[in-house]
């Protein structure tokens, strides 16, 4: 039997990621395997493989594929890692992460988004992702510590409450900067003596806001 053909838009999608510098094969494979069309609004399915952010419920966005791939690559994931994501949104980034590590815990402040993403991830079979309604600035103590932390909403500064949750040799990536402007992706690595901080690229994310959203 002939292998199922990759649709042209998915081939272009892979090509665009490679051209922009994504080279980690496991990351490229995860980007190929996760169906982005299942995470965007119904009316946007035709645009799912364009390299752009798209609107989702609650006035939030599903990130641009290149940024998802880039942040994932920069995390340097290993199969045994436990990963914390702040800002579940559609659940797309969580699905990508789940293919590359042992367990993903993702926190979202909108109930509508958390419930939607949880259901979507379960239907698609991403069984190692737990979606929690909560405030990513204050992750529940009982979640413990993480090998990797990825923040997918803009923070004015990286809170101590998150750095404290990194395992030794842990890595955190977050967009840091003004809420409505250009932010810089920052990669923080936990070392024996403290934290190393590196600036990566400029990005634009929706703001990280404190507390669980009062709106649904
Ligand atoms: N990673 C998502 C996109 C995230 S958009 C995806 O793949 O689709 C940023 C998300 O962060 C929004 O859904 C927003 O509601 C959420 N968010 C903002 N501040 C937060 C906080 N303090 N805790 C948890 N989630 C937060």
Please give the average pLDDT of every successive group of 10 residues along the chain, which has 216 residues. Answer: 76 94 98 97 95 96 97 98 98 98 98 98 98 98 98 97 97 96 97 97 97 90
Q: If you take atom 14 of ligand 1, which residue's CA is the nearest one? A: 87
Q: Does domain 8-203 match CATH 3.50.50.60?
A: no
Q: What is the pLDDT of residue 8?
A: 85
User: Is 133's C-beta closer than 6 angstroms to any atom of ligand 1?
Assistant: no
C-alpha span between 137 and 159 (Å, rounded): 7
User: Does any ligand 1 atom lie closer than 6 A to the CB of residue 139?
Assistant: no
- By the 10 Å C-beta count (0-12 exposed, 13-18 middle, 19+ buried), 108 is classed as buried
Residue 62, ligand 1, Cβ within 6 A: yes
Q: In what order do the strands lie in the sheet with 146-151?
A: 129-133, 103-108, 82-86, 146-151, 166-176, 183-190, 195-203
The finding on whether 89 has its CB within 6 A of some atom of ligand 1 is yes
Q: What spacing in Å lies between the alpha carbon of 7 and ligand 1's midpoint? A: 30
Q: Is the CB of 65 under 6 A from ligand 1?
A: no
Q: Do 157 and 173 form a contact (C-beta atoms < 8 A)?
A: no
Show me where the domains of the chain are located.
8-203
Write the burial class of residue 13 (CB in 10 Å: 0-12 exposed, 13-18 middle, 19+ buried): buried
Instruction: Give the C-alpha distances (Å, rounded to integers) separating 192 from 13, 19, 145, 189, 196.
Output: 40, 36, 16, 10, 10
Based on the residue annotation, tell me whether 63 is a catalytic residue of this protein: yes
Residue 29 Cα, ligand 1 centroid: separation in angstroms?
24
CA-211 nearest atom, ligand 1: 22
pLDDT of residue 3: 67
């Amino acid at each position: 039997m002939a292998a199922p053909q990759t649709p042209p838009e998915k081939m272009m999608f892979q090509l665009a990621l490679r051209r922009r510098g994504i080279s980690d094969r496991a990351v490229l494979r995860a980007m190929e395997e996760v169906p982005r069309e299942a995470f965007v609004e119904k009316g946007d399915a035709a645009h799912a493989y364009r390299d752009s952010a798209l609107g989702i419920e609650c006035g939030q966005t599903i990130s641009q594929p290149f940024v998802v791939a880039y942040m994932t690559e920069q995390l340097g994931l290993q199969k045994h890692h436990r990963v914390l994501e702040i800002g579940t949104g559609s659940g797309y980034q969580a699905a990508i992460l789940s293919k590359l590590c042992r367990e993903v815990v993702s926190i979202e402040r909108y109930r509508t988004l958390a419930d939607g993403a949880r259901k979507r991830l379960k239907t698609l079979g991403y069984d190692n992702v737990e979606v929690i309604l909560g405030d990513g600035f204050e992750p529940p103590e009982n979640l413990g510590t993480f090998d990797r932390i990825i923040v997918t909403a803009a923070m004015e500064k990286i809170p101590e409450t998150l750095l404290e949750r990194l395992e030794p040799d842990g890595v955190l990536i977050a967009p840091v900067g003004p809420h409505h402007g250009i932010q810089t992706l920052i990669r923080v690595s936990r070392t024996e003596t403290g934290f190393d901080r590196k600036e990566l690229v400029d990005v634009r994310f929706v703001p990280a806001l404190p507390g669980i959203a009062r709106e649904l």
